[in-house]
Amino acid sequence: MIVRRLVTASVVLALCLPACADEAKENPAAKPLNRDIDRHKKFLEIVEKGEGDVIFLGDSITHGWEGQKKIWDAAFGASKPVNLGIGGDQTGHVLWRITEGKEIDPLKPKLAVIMIGTNNMGAHTAEQIAGGVRTIVETLQKQKPDIKILVLGIFPRSPRAADAVRDKIKYANTFLAKLADGKQVFYKDIGDKFLEKDGSLDKKIMPDYLHLSAEGYQIWADAIKDDVAKLAK
């Protein structure tokens, strides 16, 4: 029954992906949410210099790269990355930051790496979350027509494979995968790399079963560094 629902929903989204303007208007996860906080203001000062070939957009998990400078520099330093992650962000906050917040206006990024959606899990459906990410992707393409975009699957959370949120994340990721066109937009799900053989999460990777340890960030870096280097050329 679950498989049938997943397949049906995936087919519906595949048909909808090219143009679903009406859905975006009605989708609460695709509406800008004000994020005019101190960290946003700090970002405006950083991007004012106009430097940054790769932008990382996301929530606290992306924000956390700031505590892993050695891993960050080794994996992405050559690509002139800019970390635009803010703890607590949902898709709507990221959307506000790249529109009304003007966080990327001074930049000419070659690549955007997006990992967002876990903070939407409590309030939105999997379809709505994917629609919010799609709106972010479409907005980036309008603002920066030459940009390439790497959408990452939402990372697993919660300790056990059988926990309900795991199914919702997998469900949302089936929709996110449909965003890829293989030309400008790419999708990669690295979630399994964080998991044990039985599907559980180890605290050494995610101490609170959500945020990454240094070992978790190394796994993330190793999983995408080649993609970032290739797409940012």
Active-site residue, from 36, 208, 222, 226: 208
For residue 7, the model assigns a pLDDT of 38
Distance of CA 175 to the CA centre of its chain: 13
The residue type of 208 is D
Residue 200 a catalytic site member? no
- Spatial neighbors of 162 by CB under 8 A, at least 6 apart, are none
pLDDT in tens, 34-74: 999 999 999 999 999 999 999 999 999 999 999 999 999 99
Dist. CA 71–CA 225, nearest whole Å: 11
Q: Is the pLDDT of residue 9 over 90?
A: no
Burial of 66 (0-12, 13-18, 19+ CB in 10 A): exposed
Active-site residue, from 10, 60, 158, 213: 60
Residue 208 a catalytic site member? yes
Active-site residue, from 63, 93, 124, 211: 211
Distance of CA 62 to the CA centre of its chain: 8
Number of H helices, E strands in the chain: 9, 5
Q: Which domains does the chain have, with CATH numbers?
A: 2-231 (3.40.50.1110)
Token output for 46: 């950083």
Average pLDDT, whole number, for the chain? 91
Q: Is the pLDDT of residue 15 over 50?
A: no
List residues bridging with 54 in a β-sheet.
81, 111
Q: Is the pLDDT of residue 203 over 50?
A: yes
For residue 160, the model assigns a pLDDT of 97
Q: Is the pLDDT of residue 20 over 50?
A: no
Residue 40 a catalytic site member? no
Q: Is the pLDDT of residue 23 over 90?
A: no
